[in-house]
Amino acid sequence: MINKGLSRLGTVFLYLISLLPFWLLYLVADILFVVLYYVIGYRRRVTQENLRNAFPEMTDAERADIEKKYYHYLADLILETIKMTSISKSELQRRVVCTNPEIVKNYEAAGKSVTAVAGHYCNWEWAGLEFSIDTRLFVIYKNLGNQVFDQFFIKMRSRFGAVVVPMGQALRSSVAHKNEFTVSVYAGDQTPPLETANYFTEFMNQPTAVFLGIEKIAKLIDSAVIFYDMKRVKRGYYTYTIVPLMEKSKESATHEITEAHVKYLETMIRREPQYWLWSHRRWKFTQRG
């Protein structure tokens, strides 16, 4: 009961922070960067190991530069995510612009549902929230351990009409709506549980376990598969481009969809590596057998 009460106070505090004007929000982010990077060294060993394994061809100085830029951006990302709880539609659309929305409109006109894959790159949360304003969006997510914060994030992600679906119900949801136009968004770079880590591919210079569920569901409902290619224009401003990966999922070869979205994410990361979530423990275990 005490923990739940503290969690509720925490969500109220986050909402109050979200009301700050952007200039003040980024001032807080600058302070947060100092705390994360210099004071507590938040997961810096994990970040350094990930960068070392991903970019062995780089010098220590080059990797250190990416690391510092990453923590600057991580602080911004944390505050921008909190801002989602109160940002208006018009403000969000001013700051996040889709360069080719006609791609999805064409699928909708053809009655072709869409499986969208994103990575933990740039502000993926803002992109999903902006996309949900004019599109029937299903956001597939992993439950958080804390029930209060779990509900807080669900409410935040669904503010503009998105339907938030737990990962364990993604298949059921897709089948239930297979005769309707929907866009279902998945994070393609999460680590699967050990018991389901049956497929590994080369990603960022190392064997990496990947979910096959995205491909299986896309093929089951024969959806088009797209990728969110996101870029940071400047602080607090982004664009994202919809990249078609597969038009007819049922006709794709085994693992073709999975390989396509993994390789596209790698291309995006190598373009500007500081915007990927390097402090995440992406490589928790190695390939068996």
Boundaries of every domain in the chain: 2-275
User: CA 45, CA 41: separation in Å to the nearest integer?
Assistant: 8
Q: Provide the token pair at 263.
A: 């390789």
CB 8: neighbour CB atoms within 10 A? 14
User: CA 127, CA 287: separation in Å to the nearest integer?
Assistant: 33
What's the whole-model pTM score? 0.93
In sequence order, the β-bridge partners of residue 234 are 237
CB 100: neighbour CB atoms within 10 A? 15
Amino acid at 203: F
User: CA 185, CA 124: separation in Å to the nearest integer?
Assistant: 11
What pLDDT is stored for residue 52 in this prediction? 98
Contact 225, 261 (CB under 8 A): yes
Q: Provide the token pair at 65.
A: 């530069």
The backbone region for 161, taken as left when phi is positive above 0, alpha when psi lies in -120 to 50, beta otherwise, is left
What pLDDT is stored for residue 72 in this prediction? 98
> What DSSP state is assigned to residue 254?
T
What pLDDT is stored for residue 7 in this prediction? 58
Instruction: Please give the C-alpha separations between residue 118 and each of 115, 193, 225, 241, in angstroms, as whole numbers.
Output: 10, 19, 11, 11
CB 257: neighbour CB atoms within 10 A? 23
* Burial letters 192-216, b for 16+ CB under 10 A, else e: beeeebebeeebbeeebbbbbbbbe
Q: What are the mean pLDDT values of the chain's consecutive 10-residue runs (289 residues total)?
A: 52 90 98 98 97 98 98 98 96 98 94 94 96 92 71 89 88 84 91 80 95 93 95 98 96 96 97 97 74
What pLDDT is stored for residue 1 in this prediction? 44
User: CA 187, CA 190: separation in Å to the nearest integer?
Assistant: 6
